[in-house]
Amino acid sequence: MFVYCPPKELPVLESVTQPDGKRYYVSPSGKKLPSVTTVVGAQKKQALLEWRKRVGEEEANRISRTASNRGNRVHNLAEKYLKSEPIDWAKEMPDAVASFRPLIRPIHRINNIHYQENALWSETLGLAGRVDLIAEFDGVLSVIDFKTSKKPKTKEDVPEYFWQTAAYSLMYEELVGASINQLVILMAVDGQSEASIFIEKTEDHIDGLVQAIDYYNKNNK
């Protein structure tokens, strides 16, 4: 049984996805804030366009849709598991179950959940997003993000994961008044029985986050 202890109730934010795939949230003051994932992924946009051209639009759409669907199902399983809700494993998609199982062991290092799938925002940063989890990991308050991958990755392969979680850390501090100094990525990799676990300090990724925000703002005026 996982303990839930949210420090304060947060409002539900309206989110809008534009035709170009960019998403924004409407803050309680009515300000439109781009999503964290849109902002931190902006620097990889050109590489993504080149990949789509290389494999073809139809195949790129199929791959992207499959990855997105699997990722969403894994997130849903994690949410149910952490809430101790019943899961009918036989009715779940086999690929989602296979991706989720390696996450079960590290999930049991989680407790004292502050927020799960809650919208966070910062008008200071000009960002908003939906955090996977803010909870204690091995007894340390952390921003925790669940990821799936078809192949093993190093932390150098995915700097945007740490910019994203660092952003949530700063949003939490702005909204709640307490700091989070640990970022945790739990990654299920195809064909691996154990999840990849990355644990980083928030302070080590602030500069990268600021640079990502600057890049997005300069290219989206």
- Per residue in 104-132, pLDDT tens? 999 999 999 999 999 999 999 999 999 99
- In this prediction, residue 60 carries a pLDDT of 56
The answer to whether residue 45 scores a pLDDT higher than 70 is no
The answer to whether residue 49 scores a pLDDT higher than 60 is no
Q: How many residues does the chain have?
A: 221
Q: How do the domains of the chain map onto residue ranges?
A: 14-219
Q: Structure pTM?
A: 0.90
The answer to whether residue 72 scores a pLDDT higher than 90 is no
The answer to whether residue 47 scores a pLDDT higher than 60 is no
- In this prediction, residue 71 carries a pLDDT of 74
Nearest to 41 by CA among 115, 129, 150, 100: 129
CATH (residue range 14-219):
3.90.320
Find the DSSP H helices in the chain. 36-40, 45-55, 57-82, 94-107, 159-176, 206-219
Pairing state between β 23-26 and 196-201: unpaired
- The counts of H helices and E strands in the chain are 6, 8
Strand partners for 33: 25
* Lowest pLDDT segment from 7-21, 40-54, 187-201: 40-54
Mean of the per-residue pLDDT values of the chain: 89
